[in-house]
Chain A
Amino acid sequence: MLKTFTRGGIHPPEEKLSAHTSIQSLPLPAIAIIPVAQHLGAPAKIEINKGDVVKTGQLIARGDGFVSANVHASVSGKVVKIEDVTDVSGYRKPAVIIEVSGDDWLESIIRNEYLDSEIKLTGEEILARITESGIVGLGGATFPSQVKMTIPRGKKVDCLVINGVECEPYLTADHRLMIEKGAEILVGIELLKRAMNVNVAHIGIENNKPDAIRLMHNLVMSHKGIEVHALKIKYPQGAEKQLIKAILNREVPSGGLPVDVGVVAFNVGTVFAIYEAIQKNKPLFERIVTVTGKSLRQPANYKVRIGTPVSLLIQCAGGLPDNTGKIICGGPMMGKTLINADVPIVKGSSGILIIPSGESNRKPVQPCVRCAKCVSVCPMGLEPYLLMPLSEQKIYDRLETEHVMDCMECGSCSYICPANRPLLDFIRLGKLQVGKIIRSRK
């Protein structure tokens, strides 16, 4: 019996087109565009000037305040511009633009890829190095890792949960990372155990990655206190609340965080970045990105430098198909559509998905037939059929009592609705307004 979360969930077609394509390094771009706000929290403050020559791995912006993260140069070259650049949202945000020349790394970075499993630093040193290296959650949330690792007073953490689930269809970056760098990930887990002073870690992997499950299972045999759990294939198993429920049967309370039930969760990509930061002195400036889509000639997994324009990834994957309707950054359930391919890859970009124009348009909306499918699939136990009209009619106090703020915007309700109703759109709008009202009360 595979473990799973008990409430809701859907089974979209998995489409893991690139699951067996090993990671290739993407060639360097000619220009790298590095935004200073790639994470949740305050944007980093730029510390270099136009005209400076930077090395790969050099700090270019420092985190501003506690909930923030450092940003490092992912390439070497001259800073040609510091200006606002259009990002994923279509709005302009400040970024550092570097004209790439060569690939000159900081001397302190150990460039070889030999496995280094010796842990030489203390817990505090590990935390300091993670902060210094600009590590953020690479699963997509981009929450600064050092903030997550700082346990608030009065709370206790007894185990770590490592997220190797990758429940979004099409995405395979975490899968390939586990297969190719599984040992390194385990060292990263040991580093985290020391930094957070816990002895137990659980790795959750969805059952559609049997090779990764087998590999990780074999690797943990030589590690004490780490377990691998194969999980039932169901979206959104990779959401941290659902992951913790499936593995440990603990429910994070409404409005709370995993630390409230004694757990801190990390994505495998983040763990690998932590390994590199501690063992190789390498700050976060590259990540694995899946480039995929049924119309793409060569779906692949690339190791990409932050700041690379999406167009280069698409070019290496066989070029943009003529009938492209949407370019999505992320997976099909929660990803954001791009307005063009000039947008840069940032720390949270887990995948680029090409959707042909025939599948890009929404179907016509029909009246709600109260089939209750949305209620049965909601992993948080909410009632989307009710939240949508409340949001349309702007009845914000009732929206709040119906717990709209619990919604994690996974999209299961909109996915399953036979009447193609834009449930999640209205719920998101409602959350925005209710969030404003709640903040204005404080």
Chain B
Amino acid sequence: MSNLLTVSPSPHVGTTQSVNKLMYGVVLSLVPAFLVSVYFFGAGALIVTLISIASCVVFESAIQRFILKSEVRISDGSAIVTGLLLAFNLPSNIPWWMIVIGALFAIGVGKMTYGGLGNNPFNPALVGRVFLLISFPVQMTSWPLPMVSRLQYTDATTGATPLGVLKEAVRNGETVTEVMKQLPDHMQLFLGQMGGSLGEVSAAALLLGFLWLLYKKIITWHIPVFIVTTVFVFTGILWMIDPSKNASPAFHILTGGVLLGAIYMATDLVTSPMTIPGMILFAIGIGVITVVIRVFGAYPEGVSFAILIMNAFVPLINKYLKPSRFGKEVKYV
């Protein structure tokens, strides 16, 4: 049998890239953010991350094996990525059973009901996160403060995030400049010294991860750059109109989940558009909705909802923003 020649259709060579390498590349790019989260939030960060990853992997393999009765494919790493990103959207003092419920919803409803990897229209980690936010609003909006309770888990000391403080203050009629004095300065915000979910706090760590993703050609630069630019421009306009009621664009970008969402959640391969113009439209939509929710809505943070809303538009975007075909019109120079 080994003397028989192999016959197959062309091409006979292929890339060394694989789905597993893409997924594990994302995991590697999140390592800086993970290390920073452990540095700021201590034991809680570690516990939440591990429980989240473990639950996602267990649920995916159980569903594939017992319900779908198909091959168990957790080795492709996509469940690990979902688990990691779900953890990065949670506060570090969330009880373990909430994480498990969130993972079950993220994997079970957000991914497997649609047919598994590649078939889900919504980002599974965000589906889990938003489900938890709506089901357990109090727990999901109490954020541990950085550095203070690193050895504690569920009993960590909590406080409002900078965006939360801003929202409250504006509602109470204070001016933005006064509020800014109470909040960390821009360098602290950049490095991550603020309350927030595990992954969103450190802009520096996230940017490192972004560079790694670009180098490994896992994502393209368009979605993150256009989301951040849109947020910057939109908040910039509002800030120039009324600086007493609106914070500066830099503040908006460095706080909350804009960078985490832009670099990791919106760029999720399965749920983002297939062409560059589509990606740009998608990104601008996310930026606009985020700012609208932040400034005019009831929630202090809007990235998760913005991304999920734009995920719903992706099939429409793919249908109408098709790549430009070669030879569509006669180009005769």
Stretch at the interface among B46-54, B95-103, B267-275: B267-275
Known: A251-B331, A253-B330. A335 touches B12 (CB 8 A): yes
Known: A333-B13, A375-B274, A414-B11. A249 touches B331 (CB 8 A): yes
Within 8 A of A (CB), among B10-58: 10-15, 17-19, 21-22
A366 at the interface (CB under 8 A from B): yes
Return the contact of A7 from the options B19, B22, B117, B324 (Cβ within 8 A). B324
A81 at the interface (CB under 8 A from B): no
Q: Report the nearest A residue to B116, measured CB to CB.
A: A367
Q: Report the nearest A residue to B324, measured CB to CB.
A: A381
Stretch at the interface among B1-9, B138-146, B284-292: B1-9
B320 at the interface (CB under 8 A from A): no
Return the contact of B14 from the options A250, A363, A369 (Cβ within 8 A). A363
A336 at the interface (CB under 8 A from B): yes
The complex places the Cα of A375 from the Cα of B324 at a distance, in Å, of: 10
The complex places the Cα of A370 from the Cα of B274 at a distance, in Å, of: 7
B281 to chain A, nearest CB (A): 14
A363 pairs with B18, CB closer than 8 A: yes
B5 pairs with A418, CB closer than 8 A: no
The complex places the Cα of A378 from the Cα of B325 at a distance, in Å, of: 9
B274 pairs with A372, CB closer than 8 A: yes
B325 pairs with A337, CB closer than 8 A: no
Known: A370-B270, A372-B275. A261 touches B330 (CB 8 A): yes
A380 pairs with B326, CB closer than 8 A: yes
Chain A contacts of B6 at CB under 8 A? 325-326, 337, 357, 360-361
The DSSP consensus for interface residues of chain B is loop
Q: Report the nearest A residue to B18, measured CB to CB.
A: A418
Within 8 A of A (CB), among B104-157: 116-119
Q: Report the nearest B residue to A419, measured CB to CB.
A: B19
A416 at the interface (CB under 8 A from B): yes
Q: Report the nearest B residue to A10, measured CB to CB.
A: B15
B218 to chain A, nearest CB (A): 8
A2 at the interface (CB under 8 A from B): no
B171 at the interface (CB under 8 A from A): no
Q: Report the nearest A residue to B322, measured CB to CB.
A: A383
A321 at the interface (CB under 8 A from B): no
B173 at the interface (CB under 8 A from A): no
B329 at the interface (CB under 8 A from A): yes
The complex places the Cα of A339 from the Cα of B76 at a distance, in Å, of: 35
A16 to chain B, nearest CB (A): 14
B298 at the interface (CB under 8 A from A): no
Cβ contacts A421-441/B at 8 Å (1 or 0 each): 010110010000000000000
B330 to chain A, nearest CB (A): 5
**What is the interface of chain B, defined by CB distance below 8 A to chain A?**
2, 5-15, 17-19, 21-22, 73, 76, 78, 116-119, 269-275, 322-333
**What is the interface of chain A, defined by CB distance below 8 A to chain B?**
7, 12, 90, 169, 241, 245, 248-256, 260-262, 324-328, 330, 332-340, 353, 355, 357, 359-363, 366-372, 375, 378-383, 385, 403, 406, 409, 411, 414-420, 422, 424-425, 428
A-B contact pairs, 7 of them (CB 8 A): A248-B333, A250-B333, A328-B12, A369-B22, A371-B22, A419-B18, A428-B9
